[in-house]
Amino acid sequence: MASTETALKSGFLFTAIRYALQIGSQIAMARLLGPEEFGLYAVALVIINLSLFVTEMGFGWTIINKSSISEEEIRFVSSVQILIGFLVGILLAYYAENLSAFYDKPGATLAIQLLAISVPICAASVVGHSMLVRKLQVGLATRIQAESYFVGYVLIGVPLAALTKSFLALVVSWIAQSIWRLYRIQIQSPVSFRINLNLDGASFFVKSAMSVFAANIVNWTLFNFDRLLIAKVQSTSVVAAYTVAFNLSNTPAGMLTSVLQPTLLSSGAKHSLKADLRRSYTEAWSVCATVLLPCFAFLSSCASEIIELLYGSRWRIAEPLLEVLLLFPPVYALWAISTPILWNIGKNRLEPIVQIPLVLIALPLFYIASSFGASSLAWAFLAVCCLRALVLGTTASIQLGSNLGKMLTVTAVGIALGLFVYFLSNCIELLAIKPTWLLLMAKVVGVMTAIFIVSWLFPALLPQASWKFISSILPSGLKNTWLINKWLAR
């Protein structure tokens, strides 16, 4: 059985690889296809993601969190997932024309029908993936995801996009990566597909899955309703721009969460001492607030340069959206580390309860903001995410008996550092350095130098956990240099 530390390290490695593959292939295909074709796929994908959410239902998390599990129980859960997957896929294909008409995007009908094929395929891979995570083989699970993106998008999608210039290249890529992922999971963590719904104690899985599903309904609404709205009220090009900006920001957030959350949840199920959980949670919060937040604040200040260099002039409509949405990943990470804490201490029912008021705030806020344009909707989404992280973080801290004042102080330090790097980066932009890549390099060097000096002069700004994290991710060759060694020793 892999240790938590090993799981995290290997998970982060393959997370970075998958992130590079996903972003690289999406950039290439977006440049080849343009906003109109990409937008048709984006509309269909909003609907498919909703379908996959309904299909999974929470059985995967139940497998991860159960202290022991038998082969019969695994077969039961696998059977339920497969049957639900086929049912949802058939319904989706049948009503594809109605769904595209609802969104006033008739061109998306074919994309929805074809993507429906992937729903039962993805459903069949849930149990095998969950078993890998349960065994703390997070690195292997993430490596399989990286492989699937490479096969689907790099080997198949990009060449197909270059040949066809059609959104169908993205559709085929999605289906191909789903098939490859199922194939690789079945090799590493084989699960029988023979249907068996006869299980003593099946009610435990159903009740546990429904509990997870109830929490996930709230989570999904808060996290996805903005894209449901924008697909309805905006043009295909704007939907594409919002999707590109969201993917650039959500990919690192999702990758970090896919490593941190299952690892903390699975490890916590085996080592559930409150003192240990409190220490781990406080350290994780400190790293997210004082390291991730300033990093993404800097990236936010570079949104124009990022879009111009990566996507080209056809995608400039995405620049103001990316500037807002790049502030989202650290906030999302704060939420993601709070959820497994509540589950590990047996307070999982609190997650949907404390977020229900947020849904009541978010839905009208999203609706009103959408009438003012995509940028307003992006700001509304970010505001709801901040409120969500605050509510869940406070709830988890109270339940653990953490020092809430200390955590809020750490958060304030992170916000201050974020504002500092954002302001400094924009000051460098006033120099009007050309070309764009040189301006971006000037921002990187200037901000990194400033942060180095500030942290050298005021080392107490960063908590010990943040220093440990920075030390762990630095290459050994750089870490062993005299200057960096002195800096870390501060």
Residue 390 pLDDT greater than 80, yes or no = yes
The whole-number pLDDT of residue 469 equals: 72
The whole-number pLDDT of residue 156 equals: 93
What is the per-residue pLDDT across 406-425, written as a single tens digit (0 to 9) for each? Answer: 888 999 999 999 999 999 99
Nearest alpha-carbon partner for 462 in 265, 277, 291 = 291
Nearest alpha-carbon partner for 120 in 97, 73, 87, 168 = 87
What is the per-residue pLDDT across 167-186, written as a single tens digit (0 to 9) for each? Answer: 999 999 999 999 999 999 98
Q: Where are the domains of the chain?
A: 1-200, 270-490
Here the tokens at position 10 are 């290997």
Sequence-ordered list of residues with C-beta below 8 angstroms from that of 483, at least 6 positions apart, any chain: none
What is the per-residue pLDDT across 40-94, written as a single tens digit (0 to 9) for each? Answer: 888 888 888 888 887 777 677 677 766 677 777 788 888 888 888 999 999 999 9
The whole-number pLDDT of residue 261 equals: 57
Query: Quick one: average pLDDT of 455-463?
Result: 83
CA distance 90 to 86: 6
CA distance 127 to 61: 9
What is the per-residue pLDDT across 210-240, written as a single tens digit (0 to 9) for each? Answer: 777 777 788 788 888 888 888 888 888 999 9
CA distance 59 to 73: 11
Sequence-ordered list of residues with C-beta below 8 angstroms from that of 368, at least 6 positions apart, any chain: 380
Instruction: Name residue, tokens 């963590």.
Output: 189
Q: Quick one: 75 exposed, middle or buried, by C-beta within 10 A (0-12, 13-18, 19+)?
A: buried
Q: Which residues in 235-262 are b (16+ Cβ under 10 Å) and which e?
A: ebbbbbbbbbbbbbbbbbbbbbbbbbbb
Please give the residue that has the higher pLDDT: either 218 or 450.
450
Q: Which residues in 183-199 are b (16+ Cβ under 10 Å) and which e?
A: ebbeeebebeeeeeeeb
